[in-house]
Amino acid sequence: MSKNLMETEETNRLTREEEEEEEDDDEDSREAWTEEENEEDGDENDEDLEFLCLFCDFKYSSCDALFDHCRLTHFFDFNGIRKDLGLDFYGSFKLINYVRSQVADNRCWSCGVCCQSKQDLQSHLHPSVNTKDVKLLLDDDKYLNPFMQEDSLLYSFDGGEEDEDEDECNTSFEKEEIVKDFGSVCIDDDNTAEETELNAETYNKDKKTVMACPNGHLSLASSSKRITENGMDYGESARSVESDPKDKQSRVCIADVVEKDIKKINDSYFESYSSFGIHRDMISDKIRTDAYRQALLKNPSLLNGAVVMDVGCGTGILSLFAAQAGASKVISIEASEKMATVATQIAKDNGLWRSKTDSEGNKSCTGVIEVVNCMVEDLDKSIQIQPHSVDILVSEWMGYCLLYESMLSSVLFARDRWLKPGGAILPDTATIFVAGFGKGGTSLPFWENVYGFNMSYIGKEVAEDAAKFPIVDIINHHDLVTNAAVLQSFDLATMKPDEVDFTATAELEAKNDTLDHKATACYGVVLWFETGFTSRFCKEMPTVLSTSPYTPKTHWSQTILTFREPISVASSKFTAEGSAAVGTDACPASKILLRISIAHATQHRCIDISLETAGVGSDGRKHSWPVQMFNLT
């Protein structure tokens, strides 16, 4: 190689190194500039871009986060509605202003129902049934004017399909992160399902999608998008959330917190039954305990040699009855660790405990009760048991207003999983009744005369508060001013899990003893229930457990729903005065029409009750009152 050539190449090498150093310096400068810009932008975003929820006081740093919250919590799918209605930017702009205006009036944006308060509206919100009616309202150009001043949401939401496509690209996430945090997850992506196998004990072996229900409580939804929890399929009416590839990341990000929340509530619930005082109250409830005792001891053809499962055994009193009646084996399931230990010791003390060695074939075994500490949904993880191997399923699962505590879902799970075809479930029927009550069913009479002093001012305020919350108390049957009507009946042997939540109607008329052509005030309605041990299974001795105001009181009492204002009722023979409003003293209602919904609340193990009331006058005129929402918690 010549000297000149070597010098030339050396010069070129030095030139390239200098250029690379300059490029590196430029790159460092650009990165520093970009970081500085990002920091400035971030500061601006933190200070200026706070997006206020359309329905509540929550604020978010991005439109996507806000719309996810609205969809998951308030059943308002902004992007879905835009797509269904084909809204352009201006139509979407109008939609935001329209919803804000309706919320400000405590009115449902979807169905138009006017609620009494913001809290009532929050409870009422539901998935939209027909959004096409909303599009007609959006033709009004008044919604082009911002309803809320300085509403940054109006100028920040995505306005075109290109943005949507870009969003879809940005929602990809790593399965490994989900695997690390959440156990088994099945992700529905349009028509394909991608399942990741994990080792989480709480995961249901069927394909499920981790989804977040309103208020952050976890449900497991099958590929048909129906919410399930504790073995119960809630159906679309239980506020299910449609699967959307965009929503996967937001759902999964909160799933761990939600699952821990449900576990915490369950632990607290089962821990509450560790108090012996509660069990004394239940066992001392003679109506309750005698009904079960009679059903188990007075029907030998049912119990003799039967395999019995007792769901939620507590002290084990029902299991002891079953063993006493001649059952060959009793599987007593109790989720409270303390009460499972107590039930085991009680079975031992009475010579009825079945040890593991006994169950493995000891012919001298006299014990038949085996206590298992777990939730019934996890039973096969605790003991070896064949599906559909139980002859009788017994449980005292009823809560206030029958359905509070949500234990019926677990009983139905046990029925479908462990009960033999044609096996008995005790009780096998349940019925909810409703009737109207008068002034004597309120606290008003007490406050009207307190040692000779009129304190009715307090009574009125108490009555107003009572219209906001359900009250569990005893109603004297003398205070009922209407007939009783059946609201809903359940056949526990055949009902489907998604039938636990229901909407039903009832018609009430003034009682016969009030039909003296005088009006009387109905201050609200009272709910109670009966469960039946019918001749379908209890052939020798059927029985009924009633919590009616007409029967001796039980620890369940009754559930009282108070009207915001009393409704005057009277016989259809009452002559109304002119055009007075129906439900007043001048024109009392001859009938009260009710539409009541009872459903699982967003708070685990609680129920929501909605009450719609209308009065019908003797002349056929009708008057309706605003819907009332109650939460039994």
CA 14 vs. chain centroid, Å, equals 74
| Active-site annotation holds for 334 | no
Ordered DSSP codes for 23-60: HHHHHHHHHHHHHHHHHHHHHHHHHH--EEPSSSS-EE
Q: Is 426 in contact with 394 (CB distance < 8 Å)?
A: yes
In sequence order, the 6+-apart residues with CB closer than 8 A to the CB of 433 are 484, 485, 486, 487, 527, 528, 529, 530, 548
Residue linked to tokens 């460092």: 28
Element (H, E) at 266: helix 248-272
Q: Which of 259, 334, 370, 405 is catalytic?
A: 405
- One DSSP character per residue, 60-93 reads ESSHHHHHHHHHHHH---HHHHHHHHT--HHHHH
Can you say how many angstroms the Cα of residue 344 is from the centroid of all Cα atoms in its chain?
Answer: 33
**Rounded to whole angstroms, how far apart are CA atoms 413 and 539?**
25
In the set 334, 377, 396, 530, the catalytic residue is 396
Query: What phi and psi values does residue 310 have, to the nearest 5 degrees?
Result: -110, 110
Judging by DSSP bridges, how do beta strands 390-394 and 307-311 pair with one another? parallel
Q: Between the CA of residue 566 and those of 233, 282, 563, 573, 628, what are the distances in Å?
A: 38, 35, 6, 20, 14
Are the C-beta atoms of residues 213 and 259 closer than 8 Å to each other? Answer: no
Helices (H) and strands (E) in the chain, counts: 19, 23
Known catalytic residue at 405: yes
How far apart, in whole angstroms, are the C-alpha atoms of residue 222 and residue 206?
Answer: 8
Residue by residue, DSSP assigns 449-483 as -BTTB--HHHHHHHHHHHTTS-EEE---GGGB-B-
> What 3-state DSSP class applies to 182?
helix
Cβ-contact 166, 159 below 8 angstroms: no
Residues 319, 370: Cα–Cα separation, whole Å: 9
Catalytic residue positions, numbered: 396, 405
